[in-house]
């Protein structure tokens, strides 16, 4: 391991920093290095982008979702984002909305999502898992209960799309204090002034949304994405992962040239959908997702070769 702690906070210029090392900083939250930190250190040492896969918990049913989740690391996923199904998403395109609806119809809940992570951890103690979704289910569940149980089952980080930096006391700070990374989104409309606010208390990595709009759309200007990644990197030492609009190995290879991580979600949940027979999982559902992850991850890995 290359470092012992991540220090999350603001420096003398008001910018968020991640220091590799145990040196504390006034006003910061001191965290032990997480699986996310260690994974990005590994991929950085290997001179490649991490491949980050998004799948929906409970899609299309709990048993098949377990099988999909269990096979992601062997297929090439470095980091796993596990969606928390919610009935009223605000940033999801059609594919991920439908995945959430399938999961909810099959009886998936936040409690069952945490149980999925617990089962996964019985066989894999290395691959980082980030829960991604919206604040309403967490609020209803209870923040203190959610954070405690997430830590206990082996969750590493959270992405909560609709909880802005101004509301850090709601969930972000309790999560950080418990040892969970809190990953925030930046977008093409996040200017430098707003970026300072967004980066404050962000840890693990920064998620750059490659476009304005919803998941599943197409990236129209890849050069602009590269410029945006460099701008974000000038404000933080955190890794920057890029998501939204990455659908093919070629897309992954292009984005992986300058991003620290390549995030794919809509293509994977679409693979679940196309594998279904009369709305139910087929014998090929899990393997279809794993084959696509393998192809996409290879695209990300060859980006700098």
Q: Give yes or no: 81 in active site.
A: yes
Give the residues of the chain that fall short of pLDDT 70: 1-30, 211-223
Q: CA torsion sign, 126 to 132 to 137 to 143? A: positive
Cβ atoms of 144 and 133 within 8 Å: the answer is: no
User: Among the residues of the chain, which ranges form H helices?
Assistant: 35-45, 62-75, 94-105, 110-121, 135-141, 143-153, 172-178, 192-199, 222-233, 249-255, 266-275, 285-301
pLDDT confidence of residue 131:
98
Q: What are phi and psi of 299, to 5 degrees?
A: -60, -45
Strand order in 129-133's β-sheet?
A: 181-182, 157-160, 129-133, 79-83, 50-56, 261-264, 240-243, 206-209, 185-186
3-state secondary structure of 305: coil
Bond preceding residue 86 cis, omega within 30 of 0: no
| Domains with residue ranges and CATH for the chain | 33-301 (3.20.20.70)
CA nearest to 154, candidates 259, 88, 82: 82
Question: CB neighbours of 267 closer than 8 A, spacing ≥ 6?
Answer: 246, 247, 248, 292, 296
Q: pTM of the entire structure?
A: 0.89
pLDDT confidence of residue 180:
97
Cβ atoms of 56 and 269 within 8 Å: the answer is: yes
pLDDT confidence of residue 245:
85
pLDDT confidence of residue 253:
95
Question: What does the DSSP assignment read for 154-180?
Answer: T--EEEETT--GGGTTTTHHHHHHHT-
pLDDT confidence of residue 212:
54
pLDDT confidence of residue 105:
98
Return d(Cα 57, Cα 279) in angstroms, integer.
16
Task: Copy the structure tokens of residue 227.
Answer: 């410029």
Q: Which of 62, 81, 168, 251 is catalytic?
A: 81
Return d(Cα 256, Cα 243) in angstroms, integer.
11
Q: Give yes or no: 92 in active site.
A: yes
CA nearest to 93, candidates 269, 296, 225, 250: 269
Q: Which of 92, 156, 168, 251 is catalytic?
A: 92
């Amino acid at each position: 391991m290359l470092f012992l702690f991540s220090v999350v906070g603001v420096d003398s210029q008001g910018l968020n920093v991640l220091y590799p090392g145990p040196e504390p900083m006034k006003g910061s939250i001191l965290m032990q290095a997480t699986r996310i930190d260690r994974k990005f250190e590994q991929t950085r040492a290997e001179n490649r982008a991490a491949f980050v896969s998004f799948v929906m918990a409970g899609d299309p049913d709990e048993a098949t979702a377990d099988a999909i989740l269990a096979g992601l690391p062997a297929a090439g996923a470095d980091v796993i984002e596990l969606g928390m199904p919610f009935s009223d998403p605000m940033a999801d395109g059609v594919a991920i909305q439908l995945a959430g609806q399938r999961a909810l119809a099959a009886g998936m809940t936040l409690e069952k999502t945490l149980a999925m992570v617990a089962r996964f951890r019985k066989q894999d103690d290395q691959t980082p898992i980030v829960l991604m979704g919206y604040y309403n289910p967490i609020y209803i569940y209870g923040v203190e209960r959610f954070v405690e149980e997430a830590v206990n089952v082996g969750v590493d980080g959270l992405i909560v799309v609709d909880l802005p930096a101004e509301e850090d006391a709601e969930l972000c700070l309790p999560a950080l204090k418990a040892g969970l990374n809190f990953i925030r989104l930046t977008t093409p409309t996040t200017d430098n002034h707003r970026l300072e606010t967004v980066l404050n208390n962000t840890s693990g990595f920064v998620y750059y949304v490659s476009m304005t709009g919803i998941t599943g759309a197409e990236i129209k200007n890849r050069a602009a994405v590269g410029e945006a990644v460099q701008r974000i990197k000038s404000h933080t030492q955190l890794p920057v992962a890029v998501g939204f609009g990455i659908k093919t190995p070629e897309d992954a290879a292009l984005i992986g040239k300058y991003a620290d991580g390549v995030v794919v979600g809509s293509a994977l949940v679409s693979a679940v959908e196309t594998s279904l027979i009369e709305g139910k999982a087929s014998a090929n559902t899990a393997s279809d997702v794993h084959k696509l992850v393998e192809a996409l991850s290879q695209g990300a890995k060859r980006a700098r070769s």
